[in-house]
Amino acid sequence: MPSKKNFSKKPSQFFAALFMISTLFMAVACNNNNCAQFDCVNGECERGVCVCDEGYEGTRCNISWSSKMSGSYLGRDCYDSEDANYTITSFAKDSITFNNFFKAGITEGSKISIPNQEIEQEGIIFSVSGSGRFSGDTMWLQYTSVYPEFPTFCELILVKQ
């Protein structure tokens, strides 16, 4: 009578074989650039991973840099000692507007650049420029406002509400 093989004596061989088969399967899928299961909304699939176009991020490249920063913020106003509300809106995949007054560009998903620009507020024309960064729900800004008579440097921390 033929003997039954006892596979329980060599579980390490079984798991090693299973590992080799799964590794081979994944390598073939990657080498074939198998992207059928991915929908890269604003990007291209490379070796099973979405590589996003400039201005987008996320596993499917479906989050614009500006949309993640859009919203209502609270921060200490630079011009007096009270809390102030700020509304940041998206107007392009890599651009935002502060309180509908001045615009800023976004690079690398978190760096903010406020180019020099003139703004009119309550009949007064002034210029603003600066930079900042964004992480989580917090925005750090450093900018200079130049009113007709005097420049003001401001460091502002805004927290998304």
The answer to the question of residue 53 being in a domain is yes
- pLDDT digits 0-9 by tens, 5-33: 554 556 566 655 555 555 544 444 444 45
pTM greater than 0.95 (yes/no): no
Q: Does 81 lie in the same domain as 46?
A: no
User: Residue 50 burial (CB < 10 Å; 0-12/13-18/19+)?
Assistant: buried
Residue 27 resides in a domain: yes
Digit-coded pLDDT (tens) for 87-144:
999 989 999 999 888 999 999 999 999 999 999 888 888 899 999 999 999 999 999 9
pLDDT score at 47: 86
Confirm whether 115 is domain-assigned. Answer: yes
Shared domain check, 72 and 24: no
- DSSP, collapsed to helix, strand or coil, labels residue 49 as strand
Q: Does residue 1 register a pLDDT over 90?
A: no
**Cα separation of the two ends of the chain:** 77
Domain tally, the chain: 2
